[in-house]
A and B are shown apart, each in its own frame.
Chain A
Amino acid sequence: MTTDTKRRIFLKGSVAAGMLGVAAGAGLLIPQAVLAAWPEKAFHAKKLDAAIKALMGSSDMTASGDIKIKAPDIAENGAVVPVTVKTDMPDVSTIAIVASENNTPLVASFDLGKNALGFVSTRIKMGKTGDVIALVKAGGKIYSAKKSVKVTIGGCGG
């Protein structure tokens, strides 16, 4: 663990130093879309329903078999849980990944452009055993699917 702590400090230091140079040009580098408001309320919500409502405007969702979640049954390390969400539904506008038992359940949301396929893959942290829930907004409706993941070492605590 000590090496890990050192590594973190090192990472932080070098990131900070490297960023100074970028800061000056940042105004030019940020595309317009990046400036859209980050949904702070949704990410800070501690309850699942509140988070979904803040993100998608409603927490009414329909369970769907057309959403496939690929995640391990047992995650040895809760800090790195690979999750892939796939759907063939038409008109998918948003895919969100939620970890039900996390301190703040909403992990990530992806807004798909018109060419994007219903597929995202990333790695998330899970505090403890719980469900990984995938939310798909398609044609204005919210669909969901879940998969339970057993976490042996949590990834959100100290």
Chain B
Amino acid sequence: MAKKSIKIRAKTKGGITTVKALMTHPMETGFRKDKKTGKKIPAHFIQEVVCKWKDDVVLSANWGGAVSKNPYLSFKFKGGEKGDPIELSWVDNKGMSASKSVKIR
């Protein structure tokens, strides 16, 4: 599961690389109540996402529980050539983490 928890694609065109990523995560806000028990479902969401191109951090994000379940993220950066590695990693509020690396296409 952990290994499959990130889907990422990076494509370069005209000197600009577009990265699209999908993460598998419940993203519980902590405000929702369990319909059967009436108890609050504890918060469980991704807090930090970091994306690296080779060794440079191109984007780092801080998220709250209001990012949708199974978060989608897309961004662009200058540079990047076919075959360069792109690595995305996240850490959630329970300290779980995952990362995945792909090559730019």
Question: Contact residues of A with B, CB < 8 Å?
Answer: 1, 5, 8, 11-12, 14-15, 17-19, 21-23, 26, 29-31, 33-34, 36, 38-39, 43, 79-82, 84, 99, 102-104, 106-117, 119-126, 155-158
Contact = CB atoms under 8 A, between A and B. Distances in A.
Nearest to A51: B64
Given A31-B87, A115-B56, A117-B75, 20 more contacts: A14-B1, A17-B1, A21-B2, A23-B95, A29-B89, A34-B60, A34-B97, A43-B62, A43-B64, A80-B68, A84-B74, A99-B66, A103-B31, A110-B61, A116-B58, A116-B75, A117-B76, A121-B74, A126-B66, A158-B35
A122 B73 contact: yes
Interface residues of B, number: 53
Interface of B: 1-3, 5, 16, 24-26, 29, 31-36, 44, 47-48, 50, 52-53, 56-69, 71-79, 87, 89-91, 95-99
A28 to B, nearest CB: 10
A125 B58 contact: no
A109 B61 contact: yes
B97 A121 contact: no
A82 B35 CA distance: 27
